[in-house]
Chain A
């Protein structure tokens, strides 16, 4: 327990030449920190950010090197992030270790992806259903229908948007989550062989396995206006980083930065068949079927790291919970966990045989995994 009392020890130090002055005060274990700096030094000590320059000194007047500054800043960020997570306040410091304790919720068969509105998790499935699962307890709240061959999902402005992969006539569906469950509404069609969908704050972007993307602008009447942009190899998934939309191209094996019209601004090479990627506030994490995880600086497009190992194999989707990155590996039926701030591997975990994990998402507290083969949603 921290000794709350600050002992004002006026130490008379005999300096060279015989001069005497009061040099410092007691501050926790440190005898050389003045009261003005003490609260801040003690906080860093209590948080484990510094141990001082010795057991009893912090050397507050010493100049600091860039390396020492890096230690302070990085450890400070890690503590702040860990403590600001909802998991911390709920005491959930554990990580699910094996499939027998993955509590599954039944959803539609053939579910590829999921998305959360912060309270509930929405899971579209190949059987045309969209299941709403309460995140707090995993209960199925309701099931919407009519989303033929549903693939991907995005949540925005109180609505849920779903792509449906009807051959040659891909559709974008919408449901109003505030209304009783029913049939989804088709808001755009003739979108090709659709894949991923994202919302950028005003428009919806839909990827097409053929060399197009579609930009759908919501309007007062249906169908919503659609602009088709071509020239891609083969698009599959999309993400928005707050500034740009990015799309994965499985023919070029690349992540493409787009401008607001859909024109390609930058091409960044990734692993094989890049999948559902995620932005963490600084970097974009792109999973590859070849078991790579490419980490790309969103502001510059520079590849800051290409990760492998940690169970990465046949990787198809990623999610970010504010602190960690979870990767779905459909081939070996595992998920891989990384700490987002320093890219540190945190282990890989089996989802069970005949599960085929294909999608991951976060509700802000933990992660959820869509198990396509078993028609389940599992909390991680």
Chain B
């Protein structure tokens, strides 16, 4: 076993004292500090100031501190990911794996046009047109299908409070759907989802803040209050919004992505805009990078451009990495999957696919272990990334 070894050092003038101890490869670290210095050495956070010294009494500079902290965070995140415990240190090359039949499950029917997906941590939920499919994440097995009103098409899926919420968009010319928000109780036998609310305009995205469901509705934002009986109360806010397409909750505030001004809007709990973060002025639809916005102050800390102009439109976070899905936007642009390390925004892998041909990746979610996207391999499939 490793153990400290006291070294006696002769000092100038013939005096002798025990000055230091052996601590791994370091000869200048006292027993009191040794376990901590060794841990940093074992974790690859420090190599010392030389092969045999750590210089524990030297002041640590801000630069050295930054190295220590960022490497410590990276080791902590890597080790605490589910990949680590399962030994899954690889990143799949999706194109070759999928073509070999690995990591894919045929869809029981075509996915819906909005690529809505969500995970409850165990299962993956995927929206069809007027249906919602459930798959088991561990092995990809298709489990069951739920349905919504046939005059509605599912536009967003949200998992919260042990339920799956289905946002819905009226089928053009299809009549009046029973609602814009449906609820699924996954503990029950699959069947019809229950309509719980109707929104004044086209539902596009959902978020939950712990009490209410927020909906981005293409021309407004709705706050839907969970209630014992349907219909649930809906409060719709139009002031400050032009074309809301996305909504997310950061633990403190709701943020709304608005394609009108091409901005991210921080709102208070009544929906009033607190802050506007501009994301460009040329329109949000095409040729846009990924903007990384710091929630504490709204600063754009990074913009990341995929190698194609496929229009990044969906992102998922597994606790360590971000998957950005660019489906090509229906334009003559190569679709793209880009995997980033969230802590430093470095690109881990990017795969570019051929435009057209129905092979563009769509959707995008994670169960905490794998990412999942929709793809086409001789038909629609749910694909593990």
Question: For residue B80, which residues in chain A have a CB less than 8 angstroms away from its CB?
Answer: 80-81, 84-85, 322
Question: For residue B58, which residues in chain A have a CB less than 8 angstroms away from its CB?
Answer: 65-66
The answer to whether A304 touches B41 (Cβ under 8 A) is: yes
Interface bits B4-21 vs A (CB < 8 Å: 1, else 0): 000000000000000000
Given A77-B72, A279-B87, A281-B75, answer yes or no on A67-B33 (Cβ-Cβ < 8 Å).
Answer: yes
The answer to whether B100 touches A218 (Cβ under 8 A) is: yes
CA distance A4 to B362 in the complex (A): 47
Q: How far is the CB of B228 from the nearest CB of chain A, in Å? A: 30
The answer to whether B79 touches A305 (Cβ under 8 A) is: no
User: Which of B64, B82, B92 has a CB less than 8 Å from the CB of A201?
Assistant: B92
Interface centre among A76, A323, A364 (most CB of B within 10 A): A364
The answer to whether B103 touches A158 (Cβ under 8 A) is: yes
Closest-by-CB residue of B relative to A68 is B60
Question: For residue B269, which residues in chain A have a CB less than 8 angstroms away from its CB?
Answer: none
Interface bits B116-140 vs A (CB < 8 Å: 1, else 0): 0000001000000000000011111
Q: Which stretch, A96-104, A266-274, A340-348, touches the partner chain B?
A: A340-348
Closest-by-CB residue of B relative to A160 is B139
The answer to whether B89 touches A279 (Cβ under 8 A) is: yes
CA distance A280 to B140 in the complex (A): 27
For chain B, the count of residues having a C-beta within 8 Å of the partner chain is 67
Say whether A282 faces chain B, with CB atoms less than 8 Å apart.
yes
Question: For residue B384, which residues in chain A have a CB less than 8 angstroms away from its CB?
Answer: 157-158
Closest-by-CB residue of B relative to A319 is B87
Say whether B178 faces chain A, with CB atoms less than 8 Å apart.
no
Say whether B99 faces chain A, with CB atoms less than 8 Å apart.
yes
Closest-by-CB residue of A relative to B378 is A220
Q: How far is the CB of A121 from the nearest CB of chain B, in Å? A: 11
Say whether B373 faces chain A, with CB atoms less than 8 Å apart.
no
* A195-232 with Cβ < 8 A to chain B: 199-202, 217-220, 224
Q: Which stretch, B42-50, B159-167, B189-197, touches the partner chain A?
A: B42-50
Question: For residue A280, which residues in chain B have a CB less than 8 angstroms away from its CB?
Answer: 79, 84
Closest-by-CB residue of A relative to B97 is A157
Closest-by-CB residue of A relative to B367 is A118
User: Which of A176, A241, A307 has a CB less than 8 Å from the CB of B1?
Assistant: A307
Say whether B275 faces chain A, with CB atoms less than 8 Å apart.
no
Say whether B35 faces chain A, with CB atoms less than 8 Å apart.
yes
Interface centre among A156, A158, A159 (most CB of B within 10 A): A158
The answer to whether B100 touches A73 (Cβ under 8 A) is: no
* B27-67 with Cβ < 8 A to chain A: 29-30, 33, 35-46, 49, 54-60, 64-65
CA distance A91 to B88 in the complex (A): 25
Say whether B86 faces chain A, with CB atoms less than 8 Å apart.
yes
Say whether B93 faces chain A, with CB atoms less than 8 Å apart.
yes
CA distance A219 to B97 in the complex (A): 8
Question: For residue A305, which residues in chain B have a CB less than 8 angstroms away from its CB?
Answer: 2, 24, 42
The answer to whether B78 touches A178 (Cβ under 8 A) is: no
Say whether B96 faces chain A, with CB atoms less than 8 Å apart.
yes
Q: How far is the CB of A324 from the nearest CB of chain B, in Å? A: 10
CA distance A178 to B105 in the complex (A): 8
The answer to whether B102 touches A156 (Cβ under 8 A) is: yes
Question: For residue A78, which residues in chain B have a CB less than 8 angstroms away from its CB?
Answer: 39
For chain A, the count of residues having a C-beta within 8 Å of the partner chain is 77
* A158-181 with Cβ < 8 A to chain B: 158-159, 176-179
Interface centre among A156, A299, A361 (most CB of B within 10 A): A156
The answer to whether A342 touches B42 (Cβ under 8 A) is: yes
CA distance A201 to B385 in the complex (A): 10
Question: For residue B141, which residues in chain A have a CB less than 8 angstroms away from its CB?
Answer: 177-179
Interface bits A238-254 vs B (CB < 8 Å: 1, else 0): 01111000000000000
The answer to whether B72 touches A342 (Cβ under 8 A) is: no
Q: How far is the CB of A238 from the nearest CB of chain B, in Å? A: 11
Question: For residue A319, which residues in chain B have a CB less than 8 angstroms away from its CB?
Answer: 87
User: Which of B57, B68, B79, B142 has a CB less than 8 Å from the CB of A322?
Assistant: B79
CA distance A117 to B138 in the complex (A): 6
User: Which of A242, A299, A364 has a CB less than 8 Å from the CB of B85?
Assistant: A364
Closest-by-CB residue of B relative to A85 is B80
User: Which of B42, B45, B84 has a CB less than 8 Å from the CB of A73?
Assistant: B45
Given A73-B36, A218-B102, A220-B99, answer yes or no on A362-B76 (Cβ-Cβ < 8 Å).
Answer: no
Closest-by-CB residue of A relative to B28 is A67
Question: For residue A363, which residues in chain B have a CB less than 8 angstroms away from its CB?
Answer: 85-86
Closest-by-CB residue of A relative to B89 is A242
The answer to whether B79 touches A64 (Cβ under 8 A) is: no
- Contacts A67-B30, A201-B91, A343-B38 aside, 12 further interface pairs with beta carbons under 8 A come to A66-B54, A73-B36, A84-B80, A119-B139, A156-B88, A156-B102, A202-B96, A220-B99, A281-B78, A282-B43, A309-B1, A345-B1
27 contacts between A and B (CB under 8 A): A64-B59, A66-B49, A66-B57, A66-B64, A67-B33, A67-B36, A70-B68, A71-B36, A77-B72, A157-B97, A158-B104, A177-B138, A177-B140, A178-B136, A179-B141, A199-B90, A201-B92, A202-B97, A217-B96, A242-B89, A242-B90, A280-B79, A281-B84, A323-B79, A341-B43, A344-B35, A363-B86
The chain B residues found within 8 Å of chain A, CB to CB, are: 1-2, 24, 29-30, 33, 35-46, 49, 54-60, 64-65, 68-69, 72, 75-76, 78-82, 84-93, 96-97, 99-105, 122, 136-142, 369, 384
